[in-house]
Structure 1
């Protein structure tokens, strides 16, 4: 199987975030088994989706993790020129949902397994494949919790999100909440007999807007764009018709935090306002920021392997901060450009896929030397 064919197989699974993922996990497990590699399938608490972890080399020695997620965002955009879950090629572009974000990196890692196994690595390379990353990194915490029983503490993790194979040292953290206000429905002509849920939500929205403005004047880190932590109301819904008093109103609100700031703490004024309004507040997702020093051995190793000076930071988030939070130094480095992700005609160039294979080969060779 070529690396292109491996990518085609992975894209062929419509492993959309939030849905069962047994078919793609079973494919990966079976393929690794055929290479003599034991894969641990780690079901999440949802019961219908799993993470997967496998090791090439001795598990009792600190090694390196190649980390990727198997889920993709939905492919409902009208701009697709063909079935997004059938990989197709056009002038060197490998087009399909997830080709760039981030089944390309996963395909390269899986394709390189036979070569890595043949190196008889004295230091292991691990594969960590997660679910529901696109829903706020919900799957990987369960994999990380299982890691102490699966291998010695790793020296580092490479999260293969698309960065044009330029190592990235930092990204912001993120927390998201859903605030639900309840009221009593009725005819709008008798507002005295009902309770308007949208009105009840207004103080929460005002608190969010005020906190968003305050953060622009708060702590800053010029590695990021914008250099401050941010907060926004992302979705707002409620009401059935203009002449019906709304009995439910829902707002989803996110905070993105610079390194060293807890993103959930940024939402405290909003949560306080929700409590005062009698609204329910549920956490949707949360993950910490990533911050790796430029002089860290992992950063220096990736700089040597890629020939690229590490980039200080990116604006999007990854699972890297969660690896870092459990004591595993982490860096983001993968094929493709993030600007192609989550769009119609998402694609990875064939030479980018080959370059990812070369990077993984060089990692193996550096460990075997």
Structure 2
């Protein structure tokens, strides 16, 4: 099968984040087994979705991981020009949900697999395919925890997020939380007899905005845009009617931290402000939605040099979006981002990848294999 054929199959699976992914896992598992690869399915604690680990070559060698997530964001936007889960070719572009983010990379690895299997690799190439990356990298930590049982210590991991096939060595970390404030309802004419949850949430939001402005004044990293850690309130909702004291209000908040700083720890002042409302009679629930660390691969690392050589492009210092790469690095595995497509095409209608980008990616993977076979 060509990379285009494989990508069409992958796009056809509606593996939307937070939903069961058994069909796409089974298809990839069957394909890899048919081409002689060793595969294992790892069901997550949710019970209805799984990670997949594939090894091409000797299991006991020190090779490389090619990492990708099988889930995609929803595709409910009315601006789509065609069915987002039926891949469409137009000129040199392939349209469909996940073509850039990031089923294109997975398709390249699968298209290369038959050739890799015939090369006689002396060191392995592994595919680490995860679920629910789009919900804050919820699936891959379970797979990373299993790696010592699945392979020898890898030399590095290539995370195939869309980067225009230019390797990237750093990204910010992220922590996101949902805050719910519960007060006491009543008639709006007697606010003294109730507890207004929206007013209480406003205190949290005001403090969070001030904290975000303070973060902008702290030392940062000039490789990033912006160079400092950032915070935002992404959603907020509450109340029933204008003449009812609102007894509930909830908000979602995220913090993106430059490498070297813990996003969870940076979010602690906002959490403390929220929980302090309990002393005034409010119930407050703080629920961590997701968290992952930043990535910071040394400029002079062997992995950065390898990717520059494989792609023929200078390694980019940093991107602002997050990936699973920081989790691999936190587990002691050097990681770098490099994949077909562009991030500004992702999470929007008419997502696409260019055929030439897929060809470049497949060549990169095959060249990596040639070096592992030498």
TM-score interval w.r.t. the shorter chain?
over 0.9
In the alignment, does 2:318 pair up with 1:313?
yes
| CA-CA distance at 1:302 after TM superposition | 0.6
Q: 1: CA distance between counterparts of 2:168 and 2:349?
A: 26
| Partners of 2:100 and 2:162 within 8 A in 1 | yes
Q: 2: CA distance between counterparts of 1:47 and 1:10?
A: 22
| CA-CA distance at 1:78 after TM superposition | 1.3
| Partner residue, 2:359 | 354
| CA-CA distance at 1:59 after TM superposition | 1.5
Correspondence 1:211-230 to 2 at 5 A = 211-230=211-230
| CA-CA distance at 1:192 after TM superposition | 3.2
Deviation digits for residues 329-350 of structure 1 (CA, Å, limit 9, x no counterpart):
0000001111111111100011
Three-state SS of the structure 1 residue aligned to 2:128 is: strand
In the alignment, does 2:307 pair up with 1:302?
yes
TM-score by length of 2: 0.97
Three-state SS of the structure 2 residue aligned to 1:184 is: coil
Deviation digits for residues 202-250 of structure 1 (CA, Å, limit 9, x no counterpart):
2211221121011010011100000011111111111122122212111
Three-state SS of the structure 2 residue aligned to 1:4 is: helix
| Partners of 1:219 and 1:229 within 8 A in 2 | no
In the alignment, does 2:279 pair up with 1:274?
no
In the alignment, does 2:180 pair up with 1:175?
no
In the alignment, does 2:161 pair up with 1:161?
yes
Q: 2: CA distance between counterparts of 1:170 and 1:235?
A: 28
| CA-CA distance at 1:199 after TM superposition | 1.6
| Partner residue, 1:40 | 40
| Partner residue, 2:281 | none
Query: For structure 1, which segment, 235-244 or 81-90, has the greater mean C-alpha deviation from structure 2 after superposition?
Result: 235-244
Q: 1: CA distance between counterparts of 2:247 and 2:115?
A: 60
| Partner residue, 1:289 | 294
| CA-CA distance at 1:195 after TM superposition | 1.9
Query: For structure 1, which segment, 187-196 or 274-283, has the greater mean C-alpha deviation from structure 2 after superposition?
Result: 187-196
Q: 1: CA distance between counterparts of 2:45 and 2:95?
A: 33
Correspondence 1:1-369 to 2 at 5 A = 1-278=1-278, 279-369=284-374
Q: 2: CA distance between counterparts of 1:48 and 1:88?
A: 29
Q: 2: CA distance between counterparts of 1:66 and 1:283?
A: 29
| CA-CA distance at 1:139 after TM superposition | 0.7
Q: 2: CA distance between counterparts of 1:303 and 1:206?
A: 45
| CA-CA distance at 1:274 after TM superposition | 1.1
Three-state SS of the structure 2 residue aligned to 1:189 is: coil
| Partners of 2:63 and 2:372 within 8 A in 1 | no
Query: For structure 1, which segment, 68-77 or 30-39, has the greater mean C-alpha deviation from structure 2 after superposition?
Result: 30-39
| CA-CA distance at 1:305 after TM superposition | 0.5
Three-state SS of the structure 2 residue aligned to 1:176 is: strand
Q: 1: CA distance between counterparts of 2:59 and 2:176?
A: 36
| CA-CA distance at 1:276 after TM superposition | 0.2
Q: How many residues align?
A: 369
